[in-house]
Structure 1
Amino acid sequence: MSQATSLDQDVTVGEVPGDLTLDLHSWGLAGCIDRLTIPLRRQGMRLRFETPHHGLEIPAACAVLLYRVAQELLSNALRHSEASEVTVRLEAVYHGIRLSIRDNGIGFNTESQVPGVKKPGYGLCLMTMAVYEANGTISTDSSLGEGTRVCITLPLD
């Protein structure tokens, strides 16, 4: 499998059945996100998955958004980061749920206007708009050579 393999192609076709709603019902959000990490593990990345050990009722729309965000971020880690380690953390916070994904890859300059220097692409921009539309927050912390951490918090009220 090449570094350019997309998570959608590998996991959706080979690992996760097509109906995400059924998957979320059967596997839960944490289980579905964990299955997204399969291609990264196959590439030799060390994965750390941290999740609460208790059940939390997450509305379907929230769960789908967090799943899609995880899909985009893990796909970016696989294709662009050159990381050797990725940490995924899913946790309950006051009146909400938080997903954090961190890698130790090459990072990017979030404010660069210099041609040729990596900066966020359309996927991250569209993801940010979707999180804001759901009344959530998103923070991106990245710099060249320091890896990337993206943290998304969605309200559950």
Structure 2
Amino acid sequence: MGSKVLDNEVTTVGGVLTDQQPLDFHTLGLAGCIDRLTSPLRQRGTVVRWDTPHWGVEIPADCASLLYQSAREMLSNAYKYSEASTLTVQLAAVDHGIRLVVADDGTGFDCELATCGRHHGYGLRLMSVAVHEAGGAVEISSSPGQGTSVSVTLPLD
């Protein structure tokens, strides 16, 4: 066998984590689909911790899809830039909604530059626009050397 195939079929395409499998929220659940995306980070030695206190909440497909895309953006950024040793993914029910938080102990960044610079944070900006259009909220907390925490909250009505 000449080429090495990732057993989990998650690859990095242009620095973006991409699952080659069709998304199957029904079988794997949202957490399972997001967890597959963390495998390149795990392979690199990042410890991935899960915190899912709410399971059993029904998440509509469009909502699950947006949370998945948001997770993909957050995890891709962590993979590309953070050099984190530990990353925590939290998926929790909140008042009338669902919140996804991805936090790491990596290099962090200057939030002002990342969201306002012309060539920076393009993915984060697109993610924010999509979340806001869905009636949700995005919070980004980071500073150089202090790690990064990004949370996306979507309404479930």
Task: Assess, with a 3 A threshold, how the Cα gap between structure 1 residues 131 and 91 changes in structure 2: closer, same or farther.
Answer: same
Distance 1:144 1:110 in 2: 9
1:37 aligns with 2:43: no
2:145 maps to what in 1? 145
Report how many aligned residue pairs link the two structures: 144
Distance 1:134 1:25 in 2: 22
Distance 2:108 2:55 in 1: 33
1:6 maps to what in 2? 16
Superposed CA RMSD: 2.2
Are 1:141 and 1:149, in contact at CA under 8 Å, matched by a contact in 2?
Answer: yes
Query: Runs in 1 of length 4+ with deviation above 3 angstroms?
Result: 3-6
1:124 aligns with 2:134: no
Distance 2:149 2:43 in 1: 22
How far is the alpha carbon of 1:63 from its aligned partner? Answer: 0.2
Distance 1:144 1:70 in 2: 21
User: TM-score, with normalisation over the residues of structure 1?
Assistant: 0.85
1:136 maps to what in 2? 136
1:72 maps to what in 2? 73
How far is the alpha carbon of 1:52 from its aligned partner? Answer: 2.4
Are 2:135 and 2:154, in contact at CA under 8 Å, matched by a contact in 1?
Answer: yes
SS at match of 1:129: helix
Are 1:88 and 1:99, in contact at CA under 8 Å, matched by a contact in 2?
Answer: yes
More strand by percentage: 2
Gaps of 5+ in 1: none
2:26 maps to what in 1? 25
How far is the alpha carbon of 1:53 from its aligned partner? Answer: 5.4
Gaps of 5+ in 2: 1-5, 7-11
Question: What percent of counterpart residues are identical?
Answer: 55
Task: Assess, with a 3 A threshold, how the Cα gap between structure 1 residues 112 and 6 changes in structure 2: closer, same or farther.
Answer: closer
Offset from partner CA, 1:86-138 (integer Å, 9 cap, x none): 0000000111000000011111111149xxx9x95100000000000000011
User: TM-score, with normalisation over the residues of structure 2?
Assistant: 0.85
